């Protein structure tokens, strides 16, 4: 695996134009997310520069643009609020340590080659989580839209104080924020491609403050610290480290899912494959650097990535150019951001929240699946009113329970007992375990003294309960044939259930014959000690051999 991302000068013009266009998109978003998080506008800029630069250098998707995103900002906002409330002196330092550790976890994910598995999450959970985050972002930024700082207490605190906030709305900021949001919502798609509306409202906001309202009339960003910050290396107690590790793990998982989904978008647009494990490593390096210098956490940004590709970006040089352009803004043009109204940034954040909400799936979730809709709305509700981590845990738990139940029902059909006694008892449901005429004739001749436990398919824990239910049907057999010729994989739980059946049969004096056992099931059963328990002649290649041998073993 190469160290650096795919960087080429063969598409220099397209990459530079793509990077410049992505930088134009990134500037207002970074400022808005920085202010929204509570860490300050400069934290958003530092995150946009450092994450974008290092993921472009070391990532696995050449056209991917990484920066602070809405979902990451919402989670990080909650992290900052909780840490500062618990420890006012070191809370902010702990929060940026969370960002650094987020990067470390993502690097470990990449080295462990978890990239292809990161996005294996039910869509109802992902959609519900993202929609919940969008709603949280809208609620938390609404006060800024009407001239107030976000109240303490998160979503609940904001909703409780909402009537008072609306009554005391600042007319100037309300008009400014309302017009900004209207422009963002009403700008036609054709104009968006020509000029990002976020940059337009940013410039208009600066002009209105500078020439019409004045800095004292509305809240503004204020002067941003010029130049790049110094590294921060704080020291914490063991209890503080536990909190940091848990928060970092949540951010790492969210950022990884966000980045992988955006990588898929980039790959589909450019028809170039992405190295998901390398991308995770690059994302980790970017977040580690961002946290070290006091920047926000970030991930792959769909809007920036799409704009970059549409503007001509094809290699990682576009992402590097974007980061350098933003660096110039921070070092030499930071004073220009002082007059940006906070109401404008709040409106930008609210629009991001509206975009994050999965409107398309919300409209049809109940028609697609009632169970999926239950998971979706449950995750949304818990995300908004309880906790982000609890929401994901709830969604995954319920989705897995439903999946396990469905799998168990399906695998129950893969387990059957044949005895040759009774009408219709000489054939299975079909497939690889269907008895041939000769096998059926042999089984009928034995008149129930020989019984066959037929299994088929890749059997995981869902088949174990079915084996337990069928076990009483095996009682009274003088010879038990266990047919595994259609089983390519045997899970541990099913193997244990099978072992229990074999031990019980042997304990009752029956002879056990294993038919058609493939390599993986044979290896698993051998490790459980069944090869020592059964003689060599008990392992035969086919079911027909097993039935013939069973006849010879009958008294």
pLDDT in tens, 116-175: 887 677 888 888 888 888 898 899 889 988 888 888 778 888 899 989 989 998 888 899
From first CA to last CA, the distance across the chain in angstroms is: 65
Residue 429 has pLDDT above 70, yes or no: no
Please check whether residue 156 is in contact with residue 189, taking contact to mean a CB–CB distance below 8 angstroms: no
Q: What are phi and psi of 540, to 5 degrees?
A: -120, 165
Determine the Cα–Cα distance for residues 297 and 54; give it in Å rounded to an integer: 13
Q: Are residues 328 and 425 in the same domain?
A: no
- pLDDT, mean over the chain: 85
Asked, for residue 378, whether it belongs to a domain, the answer is no
Q: How confident is the model at residue 317 (pLDDT cuts 50, 70, 90)?
A: very high
Distance of CA 15 to the CA centre of its chain: 29
Q: Do 342 and 203 share a domain, yes or no?
A: yes
Q: Indicate the length of the chain as a whole number.
A: 555
- End residue of a domain, out of 311, 343, 358: 358
pLDDT at res. 432: 43
pLDDT band of residue 519 (cuts 50, 70, 90) is very high
Q: What is the mean pLDDT of residues 364-391?
A: 86
The owner of tokens 């107030």 is 148
Domain membership of residue 177 as a residue range = 12-358
Question: By C-alpha distance, which of 83, 82, 65, 68 is closest to 35?
Answer: 68
Closest alpha carbon to 7 in 386, 448, 318: 318
pLDDT surpasses 90 at 406: no
pTM, two decimals, is 0.74
Looking at the structure, tell me whether residues 69 and 198 fall in a common domain. Answer: yes
Both 334 and 446 in a single domain?
no
Q: Are both 435 and 525 inside the same structural domain?
A: yes
Same domain, 194 and 262: yes
User: Rounded to the nearest 5°, which phi and psi values hold at 248?
Assistant: -65, -40
Alpha helix (H) ranges present in 168-294?
Answer: 171-186, 189-194, 197-208, 238-270, 276-292
Question: Can you read off the two tokens belonging to residue 548?
Answer: 């013939």
489 part of a folded domain: yes
Residue 287: is its pLDDT beyond 90? yes
pLDDT at 1 over 70: no
Asked if residue 279 belongs to a domain, the reply is yes
Residues 241, 345, single domain; the answer is yes
CA geometry: angle 113, 47, 313, nearest 5 deg: 70
Minimal CA–CA distance to 314: which of 282, 267, 278? 267
In sequence order, the 6+-apart residues with CB closer than 8 A to the CB of 158 are 139, 140, 142, 143, 150, 151, 165
Asked if the structure places residue 403 within a domain, the reply is no
Pick from 204, 220, 201: which is nearest to 352 by CA?
Answer: 201
Q: Which pLDDT does position 67 carry in this prediction? A: 92
pLDDT band at 427 (very low <50, low <70, confident <90, very high): very low
Residue 236: both structure tokens together: 């914490």
pLDDT given for residue 431 in this prediction: 42
Q: Are residues 215 and 352 in the same domain?
A: yes
| pLDDT over 50 (residue 423) | no
Provide the domain count of the chain.
Answer: 2
Give the residue from 119, 31, 20, 19 showing the smallest Cα distance to 296.
Answer: 31
Q: What are phi and psi of 486, to 5 degrees?
A: -105, 25
**DSSP character string of 436-502:** PHHHHHHHHHTTTSEEEEEEES-B-THHHHHHHHHGGGGTT-SEEEEEEEE-S-B-HHHHHHHHHHH
Residue 435 belongs to a domain with what CATH number?
3.30.750.24
* Token pair of 92 as six digits: 């902010």
Ranges of H-type helices in 112-237: 115-118, 123-145, 154-167, 171-186, 189-194, 197-208
- Tell me, yes or no, whether 390 lies in a domain: no
Say what percent of the chain tops pLDDT 90: 22
- Give the pLDDT band (50/70/90) at residue 278: very high
Mark whether 207 and 306 lie in a shared domain.
yes
d(CA 362, CA 376): 8
Q: Is residue 386 a part of any domain in this protein?
A: no
Residues sharing a CB contact under 8 Å with residue 230, sequence separation 6 or more, in sequence order: 293
Chain position carrying tokens 């928060």: 247
Q: For the purposes of burial, counting CB atoms within 10 Å of the CB of 65, is it exposed (0-12), middle (13-18) or buried (19 or more)?
A: buried
What angle in degrees, to the nearest 10, is found between the helix axes of 123-145 and 12-37?
Answer: 70
Do 170 and 315 sit in the same domain of this protein? yes
Three-state secondary structure call for residue 120: coil
Average pLDDT over residues 211-225: 74
Q: 466 and 334, same structural domain?
A: no
Cβ atoms 290, 42 nearer than 8 A = no
For 471-503, the pLDDT digits (tens) are 888 888 899 999 998 899 988 888 898 899 999
Average pLDDT over residues 246-269: 86
Q: Within a domain: residue 6?
A: no
Of 48-62, 148-162, 457-471, the one with minimum mean pLDDT is 457-471
Most confident by average pLDDT, 99-113, 472-486, 539-553:
99-113
DSSP letter for each residue of 486-554 = E-S-B-HHHHHHHHHHHHHHHHTT-EEEEES--HHHHHHHHHTTHHHHS-GGGEESSHHHHHHHHHHH-
For residues 325 and 239, state if they share a domain.
yes
Rg (CA), the chain: 31
Asked if the structure places residue 351 within a domain, the reply is: yes
Please tell me the distance from the alpha carbon of residue 17 to that of residue 318, in angstroms, as a whole number: 8
Whole-angstrom distance, CA of residue 286 vs CA of residue 57: 9
- Per-residue model confidence (pLDDT) at position 78: 86
């Amino acid at each position: 695996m190469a160290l650096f991302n795919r960087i080429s000068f063969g598409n220099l013009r397209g990459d530079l134009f793509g990077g410049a266009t992505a930088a134009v998109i990134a500037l207002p978003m970074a400022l808005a997310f920085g202010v929204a998080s509570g860490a300050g506008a400069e934290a958003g800029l530092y995150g946009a520069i450092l994450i974008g630069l290092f993921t472009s250098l070391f990532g696995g998707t050449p056209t991917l643009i990484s920066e602070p995103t809405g979902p990451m900002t919402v989670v990080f906002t909650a992290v900052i609020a909780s840490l500062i409330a618990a420890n006012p002196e070191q809370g902010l330092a702990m929060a940026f340590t969370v960002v650094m550790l987020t990067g470390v976890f993502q690097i470990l994910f990449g080295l462990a080659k978890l990239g292809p598995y990161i996005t294996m999450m039910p869509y109802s959970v992902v959609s519900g989580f993202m929609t919940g985050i969008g709603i949280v972002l809208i609620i938390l930024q609404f006060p800024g839209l009407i001239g107030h700082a976000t109240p303490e207490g998160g979503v609940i605190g904001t909703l409780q104080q909402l009537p008072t906030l609306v009554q005391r709305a600042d007319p100037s900021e309300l008009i400014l924020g309302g017009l900004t949001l209207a422009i963002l919502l009403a700008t036609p798609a054709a104009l968006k491609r020509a000029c990002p509306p976020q940059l337009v409202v940013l410039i208009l906001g600066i002009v209105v403050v500078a020439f019409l309202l004045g800095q004292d009339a509305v809240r503004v960003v204020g002067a941003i610290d010029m130049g790049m910050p110094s590294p921060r290396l704080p020291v914490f107690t063991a209890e503080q480290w536990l909190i940091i590790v848990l928060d970092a793990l949540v951010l790492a998982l969210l950022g990884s899912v966000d980045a992988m989904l955006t990588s898929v978008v980039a790959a589909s647009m450019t028809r170039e494959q992405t190295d998901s494990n390398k991308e995770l490593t690059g994302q980790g390096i970017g977040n580690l650097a961002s946290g070290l210098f006091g920047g926000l956490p970030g991930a792959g940004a769909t809007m920036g990535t799409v704009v970059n590709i549409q503007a001509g970006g094809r290699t990682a040089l576009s992402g590097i150019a974007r980061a350098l352009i933003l660096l110039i803004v921070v070092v030499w043009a930071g004073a220009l951001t002082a007059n940006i109204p906070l109401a404008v940034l709040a409106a930008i954040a609210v629009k991001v929240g509206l975009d994050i909400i999965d409107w398309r799936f919300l409209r049809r979730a109940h028609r697609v699946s009632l169970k999926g809709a239950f998971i979706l709305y449950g995750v949304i509700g818990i995300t908004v009113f309880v906790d982000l981590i609890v929401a994901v845990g709830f969604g995954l738990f319920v989705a897995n329970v439903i999946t396990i139940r469905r799998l168990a029902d399906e695998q129950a059909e893969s387990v059957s007992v044949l005895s040759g006694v009774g009408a219709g008892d000489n054939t299975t449901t079909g497939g690889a375990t269907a008895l041939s005429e000769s096998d059926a004739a042999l089984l009928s001749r034995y008149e129930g003294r020989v019984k066959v436990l037929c299994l088929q398919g890749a059997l995981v824990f869902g088949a174990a309960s079915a084996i337990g239910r069928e076990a009483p049907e095996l009682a009274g057999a003088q010879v038990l044939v266990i047919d595994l010729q259609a089983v390519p994989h045997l899970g541990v739980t099913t193997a244990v259930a099978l072992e229990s059946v074999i031990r019980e049969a042997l304990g009752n004096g029956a002879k056990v014959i294993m038919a058609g056992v493939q390599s993986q099931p044979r290896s698993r059963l051998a490790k459980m000690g069944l090869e020592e328990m059964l003689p060599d002649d008990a392992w035969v290649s086919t079911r027909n051999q097993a039935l013939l041998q069973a006849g010879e073993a009958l008294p």
